[in-house]
Amino acid sequence: MLTRTLQIEKINPAEFFGANNSNLKHFKNFFPTLKISSRGDVLSYAGDEETMDEFERKINLLLAHFNQYNSLSENNIDNLMLEDGSKMLSHADGSETLVHGNGGVKIKARTVNQKKLVQAVNEFDMVFAVGPAGTGKTYTAVALAVRALKNKEVKRIVLTRPAVEAGENLGFLPGDLKEKLDPYLMPLYDALRDMIPKEKLADMLEYGIIEIAPLAFMRGRTLDKAFVILDEAQNTTKMQMKMFLTRMGMTAKFVINGDLSQIDLPNKQTSGLAFALDNLKDVDEIGVIRLGQSDVIRHRLVKKIIEAFEIAEAEDKSKKENEGINKNRI
């Protein structure tokens, strides 16, 4: 059995390998035929030559990722094990820092499709970003909006979403109109709080430089010289989507985010997002980015939950289709 060693240089091996070697243990799962161990900054591994070559290629991807982002999680390891893992580390448009958040944190596109989203927004004035929860659709879009505002490419940011309850009846909400609507808009506030100091954000909201409003408030307006984000677009009706898309001014950027697996519209109404994607697919000036499980950057369990639900939904759909075929035969 051949044995090789690799020295981890210029980074803290304890941070790279994780607490109690958690990252190293997770990485070992992808190479069960290798004997892998670490001592200090030296990584030792033994096995057949071909597997060790692949191990070295992957470990170098992990090192490059750590050098670029100063962090490494189990989700990062899972993503970098994919065939296109090396593309995550490309330095094409989208890999640069989008904005420096509070405390100097560098906010960047972290996955292949998040980088594609950045590239699409650079290229198109209207972009649809579609994918499951946790793929960074809203966060990346807000970062791009803050960047555009800081670079004086736009004069304001407009963030909106339909006020649709996610399968719950929230009943009477106390307070004025803003207090009633703020719970629906909380994900947008959360992203902004990461990127803009608290006092400055309060001033921007007060003077309308950043506007957060429910979709119903967009009717009759022309949104110009603005970066506009429609979040939770799967919960728009066809008429609401048409209304929103036609608010676009001459020098505006529109990003429309949504997850077609989480439609909360009552009475089985057709989602405006699904309708728009189907009917605008031949418009060359509109970008469409589809994010998937490999883009999930929340807790690693989120990815497994999404996968399990997708399998169950596919089986349920297949079962209903078979039942329909059998009824027609009868």
Q: Which of 6-20, 77-91, 271-285, 300-314 holds the top average pLDDT? A: 271-285
Gap between the Cα atoms of 56 and 78, Å rounded: 16
Gap between the Cα atoms of 250 and 263, Å rounded: 31
Q: What is the largest CA-CA distance in the chain?
A: 73
- Beta bridge pairs of residue 7: 42
pLDDT tens per residue, range 268-321: 789 999 999 999 999 999 999 999 877 777 666 776 787 788 788 788 877 777
Give yes or no for residue 188 having a pLDDT over 60: yes
Give yes or no for residue 85 having a pLDDT over 60: no
- Cα Rg of the chain (Å, integer): 23
Residue 310: CA atoms inside 13 Å, Cβ hemisphere, count? 13
Quick one: pLDDT at residue 68? 65
Q: What's the average model confidence in pLDDT over 208-212? A: 92
Q: Is the pTM of this model over 0.95?
A: no
Give yes or no for residue 158 having a pLDDT over 90: yes
Give yes or no for residue 201 having a pLDDT over 80: yes
Gap between the Cα atoms of 87 and 266, Å rounded: 41
Q: What's the average model confidence in pLDDT over 164-171? A: 49
Q: How many residues does the chain have?
A: 330
Q: Is 208 left (phi over 0), alpha (psi -120 to 50) or beta?
A: left
% of the chain surpassing 90 pLDDT: 37
3-state SS of 56-117 is HHHHHHHHHHHHHHCCCCHHHHHHHCCCCHHHHHCCCCCCCEEEECHHHCEEECCCHHHHHH
Q: Judge whether 194 and 107 are in contact, CB under 8 Å.
A: yes
Residue bearing tokens 């198109």? 124
Residue 240's nearest CA partner among 286, 274, 284, 289 is 274
Quick one: pLDDT at residue 312? 86
Which runs of E-coded beta strand occur in 131-209?
Answer: 156-161
Domain range annotation of the chain: 2-85, 92-298, 300-330
Q: What's the average model confidence in pLDDT over 85-111? A: 67
- The three-class DSSP label of residue 47 is strand
- The three-class DSSP label of residue 247 is coil
Greater confidence (322 vs 124) lies with 124
CATH of domain 2-85: 3.30.1370.10
Quick one: pLDDT at residue 177? 56
Helix or strand run (H / E) with residue 229: strand 226-230
Quick one: pLDDT at residue 170? 47
Range from 4-13, 40-49, 141-150, 190-199 carrying the lowest mean pLDDT: 4-13
The CATH class for the domain spanning 92-298 reads: alpha beta
Q: Which of 2-6, 81-85, 182-186, 283-287 holds the top average pLDDT? A: 283-287
Quick one: pLDDT at residue 14? 85
In whole numbers, what is the pLDDT of the chain averaged over residues? 83
Band (pLDDT 50/70/90 cuts) for residue 323 is confident
- Beta bridge pairs of residue 258: 130
Structure tokens at 12: 């803290």
Quick one: pLDDT at residue 86? 52
Residue 66's nearest CA partner among 89, 93, 87 is 89
Q: Judge whether 98 and 281 are in contact, CB under 8 Å.
A: no
Give yes or no for residue 90 having a pLDDT over 50: no
Greater confidence (295 vs 222) lies with 222
Quote the crossing angle between the two packed helices 272-279 and 238-245, to the nearest 10°.
Answer: 60
Q: What's the average model confidence in pLDDT over 104-131? A: 90
Q: How many CB atoms lie within 10 A of CB 313?
A: 11
